[in-house]
Chain A
């Protein structure tokens, strides 16, 4: 059972480049979300999805897009990378609300 799988684990981008962070889960969870973790800021919600075809913004959505075409996958797109997007990104999934979220191993992104 792989759980939540994120790729890549590390990425360096130049300012203005775009890329997609991949997230896949094999637990048939309805809820999926993306967080970023910055020193001294804790984990902050970027976007979330309550099921295939349904997405919405979290606390810090600017500069990011998401889509949810299947239950398993929830990619995060950086449209035009900025140094302020240097962070560690975590994807999480859960069966229903009010239950524990399972996190991926994270993607460490550096924008230069």
Chain B
């Protein structure tokens, strides 16, 4: 069974204080690992897709990395507008359920000015 665990559940940062969010996963052959941002009352918004170990992707203050067992979302010099819940999801090679994603519980990030 595919599993995704995110840590920490909540993270409070001061503006400018860099940190990392962790996503540990077990999957029967990784087809893709996805990072989403979710604001309160909104649907998840796509950030990155990573396909193989060693891959990295960047977008503004965010950088996602991938190993065979986990992914990290690094946040450099965060701003209050980066406050949101960050979701990690995996899709398995053996998954025939269309584009089924297995999600972690999310990390709620709060950045104080």
Contacts and interface: CB of A to CB of B under 8 A. Distances in A.
Interface of A: 4, 31-33, 35, 40-45, 48-50, 56, 58, 90, 92, 94, 96-106
A75 B41 CA distance: 21
Nearest to B6: A42
A98 B95 CA distance: 11
Contact of A42 (B31, B97, B99, B105): B105
Interface residues of B, number: 25
Interface string B19-62: 00000000000011010100001111110010100000000000
B98 A42 contact: no
Interface of B: 4, 31-32, 34, 36, 41-46, 49, 51, 87, 89, 91, 97-101, 103-106
11 contacts: A42-B103, A42-B105, A45-B100, A45-B101, A94-B99, A97-B98, A98-B99, A102-B46, A103-B45, A105-B42, A105-B43
Given A42-B103, A42-B105, A106-B43, A98 B97 contact: no
A112 B100 CA distance: 30
Q: Of B51, B97, B104, which is in contact with the most chain A CB atoms at under 10 Å from its CB?
A: B97
What is the interface of chain A mostly: helix, strand, loop, or mixed? strand
A108 B102 CA distance: 21
B98 A40 contact: no
A50 B44 CA distance: 21
Given A98-B91, A102-B46, A33 B98 contact: yes
A58 B41 contact: no
A97 B43 contact: no
Contacts of A41: 105
A106 B39 CA distance: 12
